[in-house]
Structure 1
Amino acid sequence: MCLIVFAWRVIPGLPLVACANRDEFYDRPATPAGPWPDAPHIIAGRDLRGGGSWMGVTKTGPNGPKFAALTNIRAPDERRTDAPTRGALVADFLKGDLDAPAYLDRIAPDAQEYNGFNLILGDAAGIHWFSNRAGADPRNGRALEPGIYGVSNGLLDAPWPKVVRTKATFASLLLQGAPEEAYFEMLADTTRAPDMRLPDTGVPLDLERELSAVCIEIPGYGTRTSTVVKVYADAEPELHERVLKPCDQVAG
Structure 2
Amino acid sequence: MADIVSFPKRGLVCVSGPDAATLLDGLLTHNVEGAGPEACVYTAMLTPQGKFLFELFITVPEVGTYWIDVSEPASFAKRLSLYRLRSKVTIEDKSEAFVVGAAWQTSALPSSAMSYPDPRNAQLPHRFIAPRADLALGDDAVAFQAYEQERLSLGVPDLGADLLVEKDFILEGLMDEMGGVDFHKGCYVGQEMTSRMKRRTTVKTKLCRVRFDGAAPEFETPILADGWEVGRMRSTGAGVGLALIRFDRAQKAISEGHELRAGDQAVQLDPLDWMVVPA
Same fold (TM over 0.5): no
Q: TM-score, normalised by structure 1?
A: 0.29
Q: TM-score, normalised by structure 2?
A: 0.27
Q: Normalized per residue, which structure has more helix?
A: 1
